[in-house]
A and B are shown apart, each in its own frame.
Chain A
Amino acid sequence: MDSRPDIAANRLSSECLAINFADAHPPLTRGQASIEADRCYFCYDAPCVEACPTGIDIPGFIRGIATGNLAGAARTILASNILGGSCARVCPTEILCEGACVRTAQEEKPVVIGALQRHATDWQMHAGTQPFPRAAETGRRIAIVGAGPAGLACAHRLAMYGHTVTILDARPRAGGLNEYGIAAYKVPDDFAQHEIDFITAIGGITIETGRMLGRDVTLADLEAAYDAVFLAIGQAGVRALGIAGEDLDGVLNAVDFIAGLRASTTGADVPVGRRVVVIGGGNTAIDAAVQARRLGAEEVTLVYRRGAETMSATSVEQAWAQTNGVAIRTWAAPQRLDGTNGAVRSITFTGGRLLEGRPVHDQGTFTLEADMVLKAVGQLFLPDPLDRGALAIENGRIAVDAQGRTTRRFVYAGGDCTPGDDLTVVAVRDGRNAAEAIHADLTEATGA
């Protein structure tokens, strides 16, 4: 038996890769959108709106689609959520708006709100116009650290108010997780960059990439140079398994695997194992597992410590993985990674069960052979870029009030670096709300 691990790029033809990484959920046609929009009951005090972290007036925008008022529909969405295009593609709608849709209660078949939102926002982006004007320049300057969804949402709202915004981002390209952290087939055709172009076209926003907080600039520098600072630095750390063999070749962080794939034009140059094991139960684990399959891995097994019902990936995401040929094994905790010549060859798990409401792993062991192991057991906020003790930390993330104010005056934070659900739509809400707080605080400070 060949003992070398089988990790290779170019497992599939370029035609096959193009299909595998094209739009997984193609847009609705005008006819489909019209039929679907007519299914909306135009609920009063609609449950879907309540379920949306950004509070989009969903019945309102769907009515616009139904009547052919797409400009109005798009404006309604973008007024609450300027990244409505991204959210239409990546939101777990089954646990948000569509889960709350009264049609779900009535017939277990919600209005496809996400797809309709994409229909309207696509129309707006193709129209090439700006739905919101920029107010007269205020002369106020705000620094935003992190060009992900929170930073972009904050920047746009501040620009609307006439403030001047500079966004710093450590990566070579702006977009944050939209650019680096989400499966390619969810946001194909360079969508994240098109959306950034759309957002920044309002004017007053400059993005400086390759600029990292703590390395190229400090919080104190920014406080000195700007009227306010918004921190949207996400979670730079990745949790370790904490088991033997984690340093073997072929053991990767899933976020790095996904980022490498996103940075590739075709995926052809991205190495993937023949047999891949993914550890974790969240959307990152799903995105890594499915993309490994779509790169040509023969066997992909996703292994999760507990039962499927406690996975943070939704049932829709789990089904999507299974449809893509990913085997999901639950109730198994990684125990040990083994390899030869410094490269991983297998991973051994201990089976678990629920005992008196608590997970216990005492059910014997099993071993999966693996050429590649992708770790997706969670990310964590690293406070290192901040000046030590500058900001209060709460549960390992930057403490903020409901509007995103940190414990330092004129320093705000939002998105994954603050407490709350790690969802794109939540980050957008945080950024938008922080912009409102910044605008209010600066206006008040001016003593107007």
Chain B
Amino acid sequence: MADLRSLFAGIRSPNPFWLASAPPTDKDYNVRRALAAGWGGVVWKTLGEDPPVVNVSSRYGAFNYNGDRLVGLNNIELITDRPLAVNLAEIKSVKRDYPDRAIVVSLMVPCVEESWKRILPLVEETGADGIELNFGCPHGMSERNMGSAVGQVPEYVEMVTRWVKQNTRMPTIVKLTPNITDIMQPAGAALRGGADAVSLINTIQSVVAVDLDAMAPMPVVGGLGTHGGYCGPAVKPIALRMVGEIARNAVTRGLPISGIGGISTWRDAAEFLVMGAGTLQVCTAAMHYGFRIVEDMITGLSNWMDQKGFATIDDVTGRAIPNFVNWNQLNLKFRTLAKIDQDACIKCGLCHIACEDTSHQAIAKLHIDSARRYEVIDEECVGCNLCAHVCPVDDCITMVPQPVEGVLTWPHHPNNPARAAE
């Protein structure tokens, strides 16, 4: 059986599944339920300076799609709205009762060194395993020059990280905002500042929906709306890219990454791990279904690792990174063709119309003996995969790689005006 124990930037946990800093980790009651359910650790919802912030009523907006709820979730909640001392006392109590779990504390204070010097010893005193610097919150706090307002300025990221590292012995994770052009800028800054790890992605600035009666963005607060932070399954592709980017970059390679962004299942978790993550942080899926989802995440990941012959999390982390390359390293001679399993086909015609209307006219619609039949025209098929994606029947349309002779990449392609000399 696979060993799921995790040692991440000096922080130990019995499995790599942590709850992200968010409403589920705001207080003792929720956190104890999570740990009892089997979560490997938690990142306690962000602490700030007293007096605590005030949160609004009406906090979440949802993106539902074709009957599926919470494909995306957007929130306008700020950091913890409870007094600092209350949170610190609860953290200490939880850590005492769950010594084997990772208890990480998320922090956000004003961008002055004195503020960090004040709060760090208080957190250290709780016995917490580490801290996570919230440089990512993209709404509300950023208007107060904290959260993503810091995370969007690499110089600030580096400066504050350095302050923190100079004032605490605790492992320090820097949480990055995706609301930037190049994730490598803040990631590199965190590394220069001495970060022990990065975590990403924080939420994406968003207007999740508009109430067409109230004529206001959702969630509507007394007739008005504001932008929020977007998360949930819909953001996973964005997160995977950014995680992989940091994992494969020569400068940041080896920097531990805690993967965040729409992780809902063991499969999502495995994808983040192979793209370079060492631990996984979850929020939306738990908010949707409760803490018990971790059971399937643990057994699913474990079973998959057994099947693949991976013994430890370290064996998995970064496995796909050697195959994550720039476009111009792809072989232009590679060719794959759609193949329709006529016995499995239910004659919905979606492959045909997708190809006919929007792609390459490579799927013919035939009527043979008054029965529908859809056939791939190999000469026209460019192997784009669209038909296989729209087909509602599993494995009905497969993409069949064709024999390849040699490798030709764009840098060497005759059509490339700037091609490398042979």
Q: Which residues of A are at the interface with B, using a C-beta cutoff of 8 A? A: 34-35, 38, 41-47, 66, 102-103, 105-106
Contact = CB atoms under 8 A, between A and B. Distances in A.
B348 A44 contact: yes
Given A34-B67, A38-B66, A106-B393, A47 B350 contact: no
Nearest to B344: A106
A102 B348 contact: yes
Contacts of A43: 347-350
**Ordered nearest first, which 3 A-B pairs have the shortest CB separation?**
A44-B349, A44-B353, A38-B67
A305 to B, nearest CB: 31
A45 B372 contact: yes
Given A41-B392, A45-B365, A45-B372, A102 B67 contact: no
24 contacts: A34-B67, A38-B67, A41-B348, A41-B350, A41-B392, A43-B347, A43-B348, A43-B350, A44-B348, A44-B349, A44-B350, A45-B352, A45-B353, A45-B365, A45-B372, A46-B348, A46-B349, A47-B372, A66-B66, A102-B347, A103-B346, A105-B347, A106-B346, A106-B393
B349 A45 contact: yes
Nearest to A105: B346
Candidate in B347, B352, B392 with the most chain A CB atoms within 10 angstroms: B347
B347 A47 contact: yes
A41 B345 CA distance: 13
Contacts of B372: 45, 47
Contacts of A41: 348, 350, 392
A343 to B, nearest CB: 53
B345 to A, nearest CB: 9
B346 A102 contact: yes
Contacts of B353: 44-45
Contacts of B348: 41, 43-44, 46, 102
Interface residues of B, number: 13
A41 B390 CA distance: 10
B359 to A, nearest CB: 14
Contacts of B350: 41-44
Interface in B354-397: 365, 372, 392-393
Given A43-B348, A46-B349, 7 more contacts: A35-B67, A38-B66, A44-B348, A45-B349, A45-B365, A102-B392, A106-B393
Contacts of A35: 67
A106 B66 CA distance: 19
A35 to B, nearest CB: 6
Nearest to B352: A44
Candidate in A35, A38, A41 with the most chain B CB atoms within 10 angstroms: A41
B391 to A, nearest CB: 10
A38 B65 CA distance: 10
Interface in B333-354: 346-350, 352-353
A113 to B, nearest CB: 14
A385 to B, nearest CB: 38
A66 B348 CA distance: 18
Contacts of A105: 346-347
A46 to B, nearest CB: 7
A43 B354 CA distance: 11
A110 to B, nearest CB: 11
A105 B372 CA distance: 13
A34 B393 CA distance: 22
A158 to B, nearest CB: 33
Contacts of B66: 38, 66
Contacts of B365: 45
A45 B347 CA distance: 9
A98 to B, nearest CB: 14
Contacts of A46: 348-349
A35 B66 CA distance: 8
B228 to A, nearest CB: 24
Contacts of B393: 106
A336 B393 CA distance: 56
Contacts of A103: 346
Nearest to B351: A44
A103 B352 CA distance: 18
Interface string B268-300: 000000000000000000000000000000000
A105 B348 CA distance: 10
Nearest to A37: B67
A38 B353 CA distance: 19
A43 B348 CA distance: 5
Contacts of B392: 41, 102, 106
Contacts of A66: 66
Contacts of B349: 43-46
A306 B27 CA distance: 73
A99 to B, nearest CB: 13
Contacts of B67: 34-35, 38
Nearest to A100: B347
B70 to A, nearest CB: 15
B324 to A, nearest CB: 34
A45 B348 CA distance: 8
A102 B348 CA distance: 6
Nearest to A38: B67
A43 B365 CA distance: 13
A38 B64 CA distance: 12
B362 to A, nearest CB: 15
B64 to A, nearest CB: 10
A35 B347 CA distance: 22
A26 to B, nearest CB: 22
Nearest to A104: B346
A105 B350 CA distance: 15
A41 B396 CA distance: 15
Contacts of A34: 67
A105 B344 CA distance: 9
A43 B353 CA distance: 9
A119 to B, nearest CB: 15
Contacts of A106: 346, 392-393
A103 B393 CA distance: 10
A45 B374 CA distance: 12
Candidate in B348, B349, B365, B393 with the most chain A CB atoms within 10 angstroms: B348
A38 B68 CA distance: 9
A54 B365 CA distance: 23
Candidate in A35, A44, A66, A103 with the most chain B CB atoms within 10 angstroms: A44
A372 B322 CA distance: 83
Contacts of B346: 102-103, 105-106
A41 B349 CA distance: 10
Contacts of A47: 347, 372
